Amino acid sequence: MGEKSTPLLAVLQLLKKYNLKGTEEILRKEANLGDTDFDGLDLQEVEIASILSAHHTESDPFTYEHAYDTLKKFVENSMDICKYELSTLLYPVFVHMYLSLILYDHHEHASKYLEKFGAEQEEFYQDDLKQLSNVKSKEKIKGNEIAEIYSTNKFEVQLSRDASSQLKRFLQEQKSSPVIINIINNHIQIDVHDGPGRTQAQVRSTAGGLLGEASRNENRTKVYYGLLKEPFIEVLATTPPEDEEEVEETPDKPKKKKAKKDHFLMKKPKVDPNAPPTDRIPLPELKETDKMEKGKALREASKRVQLGPETLPSICFYTLLNSGHTALCADICDDSTLMAVGFSNSIVKVWTLTTVRLRGMKSVDKLQDIDREAGDVLVRMMEEKDRDTCRTLFGHSGPVYKVGFDPFKNLLLSCSEDATVRLWSLQCWTCLVVYRGHMWPVWDVKWSPHGHYFVSSGHDRTARLWATEHHQPLRIFAGHLSDVDCVQFHPNSNYVATGSSDRTVRLWDCLTGAQVRTMTGHKRTIFTLSFSVCGRWLASGGGGGEIIIWDISTGAPTAALPLFHNAPITTLAFSRDGALLSSGSLDCTIKLWDFVAISDDSANDENNSNTSPTKEEKFLLRSFATKNSPLKNLHFTRRNLLLAVGSYDGSS
Amino acid sequence: MGDQESGYGSSLTLDSMKVIAESVGIANLGEDAAKELADDVTFRLKVIVQDAMKFMNHSKRQKLSITDIDHSLKSKNIEAQYGFLQPDSLPFRFASGGGRELHFIEEKEIDLSEVLSAPPPKIPLDISLRAHWLSVDGVQPTVPENPPPLSKESQKLESVDPITKLSKPANKDAAGKPVCGKAARLKASESVHVKQLATHELSVEQQLYYKEITEACVGSDEGRRAEALQSLACDPGLHEMLPRMCTFISEGVKVNVVQNNLALLIYLMRMVKALLDNQSLYLEKYLHELIPAVSTCIVSRQLCMRPEMDNHWALRDFAARLMAQICKTFNTSTNNLQTRVTRLFSRALQCPSQTNNESGPSMVTTMKESEKTPLASLYGAVQGLAELGPEVVKVFILPRVRWLGERIEGALSGIGGADRLAAGNLKHQLLKVLAPVVRQIRQPPDQPEDYKREYGYLGPSLQQMVSKLRTSPSTPGGGGAVAVVTCTPPLVPSASLPAPAAGPIAAPQHSTLTKTVDSMGTRNVISSSNPSPTPPTPPPQKFVIVSQQKAPQAQPASGTGHIVHSSQPTIVRSQNVQSVVVTSGPAGNQQPQKVVVVGMPPQQQAPVTCGVSQAPVSVVAKPVFARASSAPQPPPELDDLSHLA
């Protein structure tokens, strides 16, 4: 296809779109175009628009440089109050100018242009620009992830009223060279907000998304971030502590005695004004055994240590020896008795962390002999003799990127490079279900805190919500522009948060499947997410070691924790009482953050300015280095002991 | 391709395209085609690598591996590249020539039969889980599983640039002491903050540890000493105690050199060795204390009570090895450590400007300053230089061999027994050190006359050694001159085979320790191995009892000669220890005495002597735990030297 004919073809396509048959035929005749040529062309609509509107500037690549310079000067000379907001325009304009230069085959100019202005762009865009610089001809726009995203989506820019009126005035002055006007009209979504222009820090805190900031409308929906009312569970508050070890396996413990409960336990079932209705999404009925497990959890919780800056937790570190780089992920079950590790050689290993060994179920013919009505049927169906301290699960055919125990430690989920999610039974130690649906590697899988549901995310840019008994996803959350690297269930199971390589964190409603929050501000890929215990805050850890705390109620960043980690964050965990946040990173350190201070600070902060992240060194309480062991997982036990998992990496 | 050097993406060159095309049999690839290909291939490679990065990130690594590329290819529905699995990074080789530069992977030819016949590789160890406390209530315990509280790098930085410590904010990640809790509040409430370069206070535990360790290191219980040295060599988190440890060593050497207490010097040197071996410590800041101490142990005029009996040579050897290790570890272009150490030793070897041929042994005392250097010091200097490597030997020892030979000749023909022994040792050592070097620099026809002419007195013996070396199929670099730094050969101070009529007093000998020898009135007591004999004499004394039970076996390291290394238990009974002594000279008029009894086995044909010499008390620079001398006599400790074997 000759380059001259691109605009002609675009016109043809446009004519066809509006069904102007007569004109189309005439044009075909005049341009001597056959039908065959036409089929090869399927330009994006936006591209057509840009081709047509910018047609007359096509021949002059020099206008681009000039236009960009003018825009830059305008931003520099504008009032301080809107300077920083306006400066967010520069990057999208720059990118689209580059793309249109490529589109019109001015390759030399394009690379010169990139050379000249590329280095001026924000640091967090440099990776994108490097990828963009691979695009050296218009055919490659299709193959390039970034270029495709930019040409098919609009870049979000938020401007105050002042700034936008200034911009309008500027654009009117620029009538002579319509390059910028075209780009702003076609590729940039300007979101005007009332109120004063934002400061540099404010702008920076939300900048960084692949397509700019989240628009205000996106975050308008009300999110029920409160916790669900816990089902009433009879708890024996006076269970003697010695019992604990032996009751592990005996279901028929006395339940009659209804002892007085702690006031701590009584307070809990309080109605949260922000909580969703309990039946908003159907939750599974608690089974008898699950209730026991819950009761045990509550009892344990009553013995919990209150953490704070004065009382730091003890950390028990589990080192995986001889694992090298093969161990990829780890999870510890809620009651801290089991640990699962996923390996790059497709296996999953489960270790017991207590003296109770891992037992399998009896064989089928033996199971038939058991009286199903017996009270201790659950004990009887297990094999009598103790088994190993470690069991291996085989089934995946690629590296296992995440494992997760269900809240009642009967089941285990794992996701892998082979694009499947597998559900394993921890009683018969076999794979129960293979969930197929993702197209490419599955990066993350998480259980709902109430069991039954789980959510997975992967390279196919979607996150999917599943129920264990359905082999197909209940919801597909699509909208991310790049890999969805991590997911997390909200404590009330009604929402799912996802973090992605497009540097946004999004919150999805499980009921409607809609996206209810888009949170921008990360400058690198997001690798881990964690909801606070109260459900209002979301912590996200990124590839550069940055941690951002988000307020779910508004979708705004509450605090960007100071950058003390210098390698990707791999895991985040809130203490059970919500007072501390712990972060683990590939730089072989665990850091403890004072979350009470962080959230208080933001509450005070809201009075002065709406969204200013506070970078205070005082948030960091302690940092613990491990011996060359990058962190895989952090887990607070019910009594607030911190368990950490890492694999010793002797070589480096 | 004008933008190959640009910051935004490099691309493959046309040349590499052509080379690749040639390698698959396409001879004449056109310029345009090559450019088109280069562009496209670059683009595709970058897309693959970009996806591979995602796999790397999710494998929680920061290093891209071949499997990541494979997975990336797989996700693009391209078959993975087989046969590139490498345990380490890809060994790219570089070659240039004919105006072309080329990176390539070296492909070795593998002999299949060799592979088949080779024993199967070891099965990798199974993955196992190990738990330890990373933190207890916010404090990181210093156990081997945890990293040292202050990394070696930061210790290093601190020694180079101490200001960094001041500028650092509150030490939130110094794992030693928590900044939280009460201590933090106390600190916060103080109105004046004095930032100190080093933390001077030790915790109670650290004080206890220091006390225990130093006590054990110089104490009498060999088992405890081994444990203490092990702890010094392995435990992380000692850096806070390091200044004290080094002062302890330095002071201890000062005092014990004056007291000629060989055993304690050896213990102190072993402490130095342990500290040097500790991976988590960086000693540079303390070298000013350690190096004088170590060099004292190498070249000191006298290190033991009776130079003619005790094996202080071993201590000199050991300390010389330590010195070489220090030089090797800490030498930088700024501190010129090795140069300075070399200068120190070579000054001891400085021969008088004009060698006087008539300088006989009897004239030693009348000679110039340098001529007075005792033979033992010369030995130490030679040993110290020899450990620094053959080059040093060549430059600093070889030119002085003629003069040294004269000294030796004089001493050997002289009358002083100690001198003769020292001269013998020095000669032996010189020959051992020089022979490999001379072998390297001289061409085969080894004529004794040439050697005599060139090297003087030592010439003929040297010639014998060299020709022996040439004939023996030894390893090319073999020879004593190569400094062996890391190994810890046995250091054996013990009875030496004495020259005739060595000691002033010869006492009856005993082959076993269980006998008590009484001699010379109240001064000499030879205690039995009975753990608690009551010392008969009230004044505090120190007894060194050395016994030898087996026939001495010549140590391969030292070869034959006059030194006999034994591996027999040597017992030093130190019954009194004065509290920390600062003065190094003999103090007080009521001097305690030291008794040294050496027992030799009957198999030895040489007359065995038991030397008793008068000496000031042996003073051990011990910390506060030392008992007061006025206290009731505690059971004496038996100090076994057999560990040195």
Would you call A596 an interface residue with chain B, using a CB distance cutoff of 8 Å?
Answer: no
Q: Which domain holds residue B55?
A: 14-112
Contact B138 A567 (CB under 8 A): no
Q: In chain A, pLDDT over 90 holds for what percent of residues? A: 23
Per-residue pLDDT tens digits for A146-177: 888 887 888 888 888 888 888 888 888 777 66
Would you call B613 an interface residue with chain A, using a CB distance cutoff of 8 Å?
Answer: no
Q: Are the CB atoms for A82 and A190 separated by under 8 Å?
A: no
- Give the CATH H-level superfamily of domain A315-326+403-647: YVTN repeat-like/Quinoprotein amine dehydrogenase (2.130.10.10)
The set of residues, in sequence order, having a beta carbon less than 8 Å from that of A438 and lying 6+ positions away, is A419, A420, A421, A456, A458, A459, A460, A462, A464
By Cβ distance, the residue of A135, A417, A624 closest to B140 is: A624
In three-state form (DSSP H/G/I as H, E/B as E, the rest C), the secondary structure along B482-518 is CCCCCCCCCCCCCECCCCCCCCCCCCCCCCCCCCCEE
Which pLDDT belongs to residue A485? 93
Q: Measured between beta carbons, which residues in chain B are less than 8 angstroms from residue A148?
A: none
Within A360-461, strands assigned E span: 390-393, 400-405, 411-416, 420-425, 431-436, 442-447, 453-458
What ipTM was reported for this prediction? Answer: 0.79
- Using 50 as the pLDDT threshold, list the residues of chain B that sit under it: 1-6, 169-193, 195-196, 353-369, 475-645
By Cβ distance, the residue of A140, A622, A626 closest to B172 is: A622
Which pLDDT belongs to residue A431? 93
Q: How many residues does chain A have?
A: 652
Which pLDDT belongs to residue B467? 82
- Give the separation between CA A278 and CA A272, rounded to whole angstroms: 11
Which pLDDT belongs to residue A643? 93
Q: Are the CB atoms for B318 and B269 separated by under 8 Å?
A: yes
* Minimum mean pLDDT range among A253-257, A467-471, B195-199: A253-257
The set of residues, in sequence order, having a beta carbon less than 8 Å from that of B507 and lying 6+ positions away, is B517, B519, B520, B524, B526, B597, B609, B610, B611, B612
Comparing B156 with A42, which gets the higher pLDDT?
B156
Which pLDDT belongs to residue B351? 58
- Tell me the residues of chain B between 56 and 85 that have a Cβ less than 8 Å away from chain A: 57-62, 65, 67, 71, 75
Question: Of B553, B541, B569, B564, which Cα lies nearest the Cα of B633?
Answer: B541
Reply yes or no on whether the pLDDT at A486 is more than 90.
Answer: yes
By Cβ distance, the residue of B126, B129, B175 closest to A624 is: B175
Contact B59 A325 (CB under 8 A): yes
Domains in chain A: boundaries: 43-198, 315-326+403-647
| CB contact burial B452-483 (16+ within 10 A = b; e otherwise) | bebbbbbbebbbebbbebeeeeeeeeebbbeb
Q: Which residue of B has its CA nearest to A625?
A: B147
| CB contact burial B43-75 (16+ within 10 A = b; e otherwise) | beebbbebbbbbbbbbbbbeebbbbbbbbbbbb
CATH number (domain holding residue B86): 1.10.20.10
Q: Domain for residue B604, yes or no?
A: no
Domain count, chain B: 2
Cβ atoms within 10 Å, residue B524: 23
Comparing B57 with A110, which gets the higher pLDDT?
B57
Q: Are the CB atoms for A541 and A591 separated by under 8 Å?
A: no
- Only one residue has tokens 């040639």, namely B22
- Give the separation between CA B79 and CA B428, rounded to whole angstroms: 69
Residue B66 C-alpha, separation from nearest chain A C-alpha, in angstroms: 13
Q: Are the CB atoms for A305 and A313 separated by under 8 Å?
A: yes
Within B474-630, strands assigned E span: 517-519, 524-526, 541-547, 570-574, 593-599
Q: Domain for residue B85, yes or no?
A: yes
Helix (H) or strand (E) holding A539, with range, is strand A537-542
Under the banding of pLDDT at 50, 70 and 90, the label for residue A488 is very high
Question: Of A234, A232, A288, which Cα lies nearest the Cα of A261?
Answer: A234
Contact A620 B172 (CB under 8 A): yes
Which pLDDT belongs to residue A121? 80
Which pLDDT belongs to residue B556? 42
Per-residue pLDDT tens digits for A81-93: 777 788 888 888 8
Contact B59 A318 (CB under 8 A): no
Contact B137 A314 (CB under 8 A): yes
Highest mean pLDDT among A246-255, A635-644, B60-69: A635-644
Alpha helix stretches (DSSP H) within A104-160: 107-118, 126-132, 138-143, 145-152
Q: Output the average pLDDT for chain A.
A: 80
Q: Which residue of A has its CA nearest to B147?
A: A627
Reply yes or no on whether the pLDDT at A413 is more than 90.
Answer: yes
CATH number of A43-198: 1.25.40.500
End-of-domain residue from the set B112, B131, B154: B112
Question: Which of B3, B134, B179 is the best residue to mutate to test the A interface, defined by the most A CB atoms within 10 Å of its own CB?
Answer: B134
Per-residue pLDDT tens digits for A545-595: 889 999 888 888 888 888 888 899 999 999 988 889 999 999 889 999 988
Question: Which of B46, B127, B136, B186 is the best residue to mutate to test the A interface, defined by the most A CB atoms within 10 Å of its own CB?
Answer: B127
Would you call B135 an interface residue with chain A, using a CB distance cutoff of 8 Å?
Answer: yes
- Give the separation between CA A375 and CA A252, rounded to whole angstroms: 7
Q: Which residue of A has its CA nearest to B2?
A: A108
- Give the separation between CA A372 and CA A357, rounded to whole angstroms: 24
Q: Is A41 exposed, middle or buried (0-12, 13-18, 19+ CB in 10 A)?
A: middle
Comparing B327 with A141, which gets the higher pLDDT?
B327
Residue B324 phi/psi, 5-degree rounding, is -60, -40
Q: Domain for residue B367, yes or no?
A: no
Q: Which residue of A has its CA nearest to B88?
A: A651
Residue contacts between A and B (CB atoms, under 8 Å):
180
Q: Domain for residue B265, yes or no?
A: no
Q: Domain for residue B176, yes or no?
A: no
End-of-domain residue from the set B449, B482, B515: B482
Helix (H) or strand (E) holding A62, with range, is helix A62-77
Q: Domain for residue B372, yes or no?
A: no
Q: Measured between beta carbons, which residues in chain B are less than 8 angstroms from residue A353?
A: 131
